[in-house]
């Protein structure tokens, strides 16, 4: 039961935010155990700005959600699966 609980924590995926029809997330939305791995993978051109939304537009940590989703599915989960088998 403890191992299953740990797996669920490691596989937690950040939920998207929406503004003006744009699906995004803040770097601070990403679970702590994923931030370092994602930060080293993501390119600077994946950061976005959202016009007409002062609170969100001024943040310098906005990421297109699709970029995070791709990384989560194709890098993070794959790495987790490999760790399980090793």
22 has which bridge partners?
A: 19
4-22: pLDDT as tens digits: 434 444 568 999 999 888 8
Range of the domain at 11: 2-85
Full-model pTM:
0.74
- Distance, in Å, from the CA atom of 24 to the CA atom of 3, rounded to the nearest integer, reads 31
- 71 with 41: CB under 8 angstroms? yes
Residue ranges of the chain with per-residue pLDDT less than 50: 1-9, 85-86
36 Cα distance to chain centroid: 11
* Per-residue pLDDT at 39: 93
Q: What are phi and psi of 24, to 5 degrees?
A: -150, 175
Instruction: Give the mean pLDDT of the chain.
Output: 79
State how many domains the chain has: 1
Q: What percent of the chain has pLDDT over 70?
A: 71
62 has which bridge partners?
A: 26
């Amino acid at each position: 039961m403890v191992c299953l609980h740990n797996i669920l924590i490691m596989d937690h995926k950040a939920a998207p935010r929406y503004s003006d029809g744009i699906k995004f997330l803040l770097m601070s939305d990403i679970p702590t155990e994923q931030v370092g791995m994602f930060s080293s993978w993501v390119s600077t051109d994946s950061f976005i700005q959202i016009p007409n939304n002062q609170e969100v537009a001024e943040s310098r940590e906005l990421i297109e959600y699709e970029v995070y989703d791709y990384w989560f599915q194709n890098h993070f989960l794959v790495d987790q699966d490999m760790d399980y088998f090793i």
